Structure 1
């Protein structure tokens, strides 16, 4: 596939600048990105079944440079909805975050609503994209749902990938599909099994205490893997929610239409009272925007009430490198244009190198397979000869 071996140029730039954090909390391993001024109430991004924390890299790069704090997480290996709620709450406690704004797509949107239902004091607003209210229809569509936890990896990946629409796409949508497919390949069997279990485990989101005015529903008008009936149920549940419709974008508009999605996210945050701090973008110290708090920051109060410029995690396995400071804060239109230019920032050589390496690996694997087949050929011929000879002798005796 086009995007499996060739990472987009802006993604390479993102990986070189934003640290990835991995922290164990109980028996769960949390993998996440945390970028932006710590004084700002964070926007936490929750992916769907096929996503990882990396799929929101365009939102992290753009919104953090505007003065927002963005946290993107992987869904850990949890096997029921109550375990998800408890595990996510422990994660927020460890990184010292109390009040959050959740942006969830597909399964991530469903889990965001469940958390808002059971922990209403922590969730200040919701942005739901291609989300749903209940999982009964998914359970009914999967006859082997009871044994999903014991299914082999290839079957789980095949099921997830068949849910992604195949066929001719616009170039940006095709690139987004390829990138998500490459992320699916990084998921383990247990990762996929736990996420599918959350999808088919029968549950329904009850009415929320959160006002509809603090909810934005963002959907694409062309198509998505979520049935339209489930989307209509979501709209009926939150009649007073703000609507943000994208003309195109497919299942992954945050990758295929990042400028539009980022604009809607920024408008939502402004409407719910989140004040960006672009003045702190320059003052963020190198290695100082990690998500998990240091020993000193553990003693501080809620980051929503007290500014913190340094939230680096000494236990993080990533390098503590940061975005270069911005010399000026551009207007929204200028920023969108600069975001679009990141894709072409001098990564042609890296892409060509990766493509050549991928070709070499393919040739080596193909040669190995051919050598293995040819090595078995003499054994097969000899076995056939011995078998036919013994049959002939047996017939002579008869």
Structure 2
């Protein structure tokens, strides 16, 4: 049971037409009495009033009372809509803090909603992912999970596992009266295992849609990597000069290419150097290449392929990554018209300095779109994926136990561990530490 009352500014801090302040907890009615002198507010009705501090008015506001459990958190809740100035919003929050209310921690409203069984953990995470969605695919993945189809399917699987556990329990308690049908158990467990494995195997699509796909822009110094990053961003983010080695560290920026969230990394030019700072940059560049799903290998059309290019390609090729060879500065005539020796990769010609990169963006989209397409049952983060993996490992042990003829109590142990893992997935079996870690990444006021 949660006894204290919390409040927070739920709208972005800044200047705007309206700001929203939220409050929830058992002291909500007393706060309403103190602020507005109304003792029995009608739920879901919008009221108009003034918030005052002693002899002066702080602001003219509207407000709504939500009576628990019919509220977002499951508790009594107050939402105040005030003018959106930074100072006036903070003044109202300060006034509320004097009424036996404390400031909410990040995600604490959603945390209370989970603890009060107003939603499960999957939906709470989906709400947070919806708020932070950077692309159309991320938005679709979040809304799919908010829809609740995944939660319903997990509940059906848990119910099937509970039925299996119950039948085993009965047989253990009354061995002379009941006989367990191990063949039917195997059939049911294998069906559940296959469904969980499919969920696990497709998890990376949902995770990539939400977290973004890492894409490294790689090449020798002065090939035009930073110019390409700026062209993709449609703004000047990286410093561009004619001096080789200008970029000495990795620069990471978020891109949205036709609804795909991409984390583009402009790497330092890879070459042998005695410069200590540049050496560190090259090391970080190699690490960024290893972590990326897609590599844009930038070649300089004005000079052709040299030993540096070949050395970089050999490093890339060993990693077995998806690679697009980008011939930059294609607006500059090159009489040699060098030929690409690496036929296994797609090649695209661009002029980053002139912003002529549409053909490259088309190719990036086609390369990555299948890795972010999600269905209604997609997982969307690594916590969820790890929980499903635990469930799969336990159900495999239960299946193996039946096949090896182990005792029912051994099989029961693994069936219960499968249920525990799925409870961890949905938040039905949570710890304070687990919830604190999850909701610590949420917005304050959500």
Q: TM-score range by the shorter chain?
A: under 0.3
State the TM-score, normalized to the length of structure 1: 0.28
Q: Which has the higher strand share?
A: 2
State the TM-score, normalized to the length of structure 2: 0.25
